[in-house]
Amino acid sequence: MTYESFKRNSQKEYLGFCEQKGYIYSVKLDAGKHAVVALRNGQVTVLITYTVQASPIFR
């Protein structure tokens, strides 16, 4: 993920700050796909990606 795509993404949530990695955000990538990224000095590092699935209980 580039800094520009991170900046344009309106579906992100600030999670906190890490001394080693910088500012930590959860970012929605696609329908059901998310990533946890670190932003430091204009560099975006993808830490993890994950997929969210709807529970059959809540359908």
pLDDT on residue 15:
98
Radius of gyration of the chain (CA): 13
10 phi, psi to nearest 5 deg: -90, -5
Mean pLDDT of 31-37: 95
φ, ψ at 57 (rounded to 5°):
-70, -35
Confidence tier at 59 by pLDDT (50, 70, 90):
low
DSSP three-state, residue 7: helix
Strand partners, 11: none
Average pLDDT over residues 15-44: 96
Query: Is residue 48's pLDDT more than 70?
Result: yes
| Structural domain spans, the chain | 3-58
What is this structure's pTM? 0.84
> Per the structure block, which two tokens stand in for 48?
């993890």
